[in-house]
């Protein structure tokens, strides 16, 4: 017997790509003006900002970036590297002292170090695909948690640190903050670079460790395509 209630509408099946895998839904990020108010929502590239988060790749990329920053300059000279000592300091016999062949030996002042530490490199290799996947994971984590926003074109016509502080206050996200802008966007860069707990970088120098360090992320509308290209 039919009831008075209408039949439930069946849910639409998930959109699948040609290979049968489910395509991720493109995420959106708010576009902020200089006052920190949302002007519109911008659809982001799903392959970059809606990718699977892979913590093990993020860990490898961050460790490799930290290792690359290590100087590795701790070293000392062995007896073969110090200067002087080309001849015996005294004759072999008849002096009452122990025989010696060179003053570069470790027991002499100014001599070499026995088993000295050597300069080394701490670089760790990370494949290009793994590094890009790590960056996509870090960006997708921000997009998924709503800590990513876009600074609209022309929001900063001239440098103003007070306007940048007002934008962050109105946006209300947690610090530290990472700002990604093009090199020619001087007004935007100068507006944010003097704020505490704010790091400003360009897409060409963007590192996974910086994205992981930041609790919130601001990307200029002009730099967005460059960021997506770096993570593809």
Could you read off the pLDDT of 55-101 as tens digits, one per residue? 999 999 999 999 999 888 999 999 999 998 889 999 999 999 999 99
In this structure, what is the dihedral angle of CA atoms 12, 18, 19, 23, given to the nearest 10 degrees?
-50
Do 52 and 159 share a domain, yes or no? yes
Percent of the residues in the chain that have a pLDDT greater than 90, as a whole number: 76
Q: pLDDT-derived band of residue 21, with 50, 70 and 90 as boundaries?
A: low
Q: pLDDT-derived band of residue 8, with 50, 70 and 90 as boundaries?
A: very low
Q: Do the Cβ atoms of 30 and 37 come closer than 8 Å?
A: no
Q: Looking at the domain assignment, is residue 116 inside a domain?
A: yes
Q: Looking at the domain assignment, is residue 208 inside a domain?
A: yes
Do 156 and 81 share a domain, yes or no? no
The contacts of residue 160 (CB under 8 Å, 6+ apart) are: 34, 187, 191
Handedness of CA 90, 94, 95, 101 (dihedral sign): positive
CATH number at residue 208: 3.40.1370.10
Do 44 and 112 share a domain, yes or no? no
Percent of the residues in the chain that have a pLDDT greater than 70, as a whole number: 90
Q: Looking at the domain assignment, is residue 15 inside a domain?
A: no
Q: Do the Cβ atoms of 139 and 227 come closer than 8 Å?
A: yes
Location of structure tokens 């209300």: 172
Q: Tell me the C-alpha distance between 229 and 152, whole Å.
A: 19
Strand order in the sheet with 38-43: 38-43, 28-32, 148-151, 216-220, 177-180, 198-201
Q: Looking at the domain assignment, is residue 4 inside a domain?
A: no
In this structure, what is the dihedral angle of CA atoms 218, 224, 228, 231, given to the nearest 10 degrees?
-40
DSSP state of 183: T
pLDDT tens by residue, 108-129: 999 999 999 998 888 889 999 9
Residue 36 has pLDDT above 90, yes or no: no
Q: Looking at the domain assignment, is residue 13 inside a domain?
A: no
Q: pLDDT-derived band of residue 18, with 50, 70 and 90 as boundaries?
A: low
Q: Looking at the domain assignment, is residue 23 inside a domain?
A: no
Q: How many domains does the chain have?
A: 2
Q: Looking at the domain assignment, is residue 14 inside a domain?
A: no
Do 186 and 213 share a domain, yes or no? yes
Return mean pLDDT, the chain. 89
Do 116 and 150 share a domain, yes or no? no
How many angstroms separate the first and last alpha carbons of the chain? Answer: 56
Handedness of CA 225, 65, 209, 130 (dihedral sign): positive
pLDDT value of residue 14: 45
Do 131 and 169 share a domain, yes or no? yes
pLDDT tens by residue, 139-189: 999 999 999 999 998 889 899 999 999 999 999 999 999 999 999 999 999
**Containing domain of residue 77, as a range?**
71-121
Q: Looking at the domain assignment, is residue 2 inside a domain?
A: no
Do 188 and 170 share a domain, yes or no? yes
Residue 19 has pLDDT above 90, yes or no: no
pLDDT value of residue 9: 41
């Amino acid at each position: 017997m039919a009831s008075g209630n209408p039949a439930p509408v069946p849910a639409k099946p998930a959109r699948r790509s040609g290979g049968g895998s489910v395509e991720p839904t493109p995420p959106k990020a708010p576009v902020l003006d200089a006052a920190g108010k949302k002007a519109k929502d911008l659809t982001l590239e799903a392959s970059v900002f809606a990718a699977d988060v892979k913590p093990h790749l993020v860990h490898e990329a961050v460790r490799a970036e930290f290792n690359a920053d290590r100087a590795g300059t701790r070293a000392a000279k062995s007896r073969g590297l110090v200067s002087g000592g080309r001849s015996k300091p005294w004759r072999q016999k008849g002096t009452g002292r122990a025989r010696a062949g060179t003053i570069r030996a470790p027991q002499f002042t100014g001599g070499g170090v026995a088993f000295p530490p050597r300069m080394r490199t701490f670089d760790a290799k990370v494949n290009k695909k793994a590094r890009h996947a790590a960056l996509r994971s870090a960006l997708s984590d921000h997009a998924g948690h709503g800590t990513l926003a876009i600074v609209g074109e022309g929001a900063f016509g001239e440098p103003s640190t007070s306007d940048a502080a007002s934008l962050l206050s109105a946006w209300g996200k947690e610090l530290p903050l990472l700002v990604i802008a093009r090199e020619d966007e001087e007004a935007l860069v100068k507006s944010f670079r003097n704020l505490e707990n704010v790091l400003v970088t360009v897409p060409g120098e963007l590192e996974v460790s910086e994205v992981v360090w930041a609790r919130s992320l601001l990307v200029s509308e002009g730099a967005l395509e460059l960021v997506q290209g770096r993570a593809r």
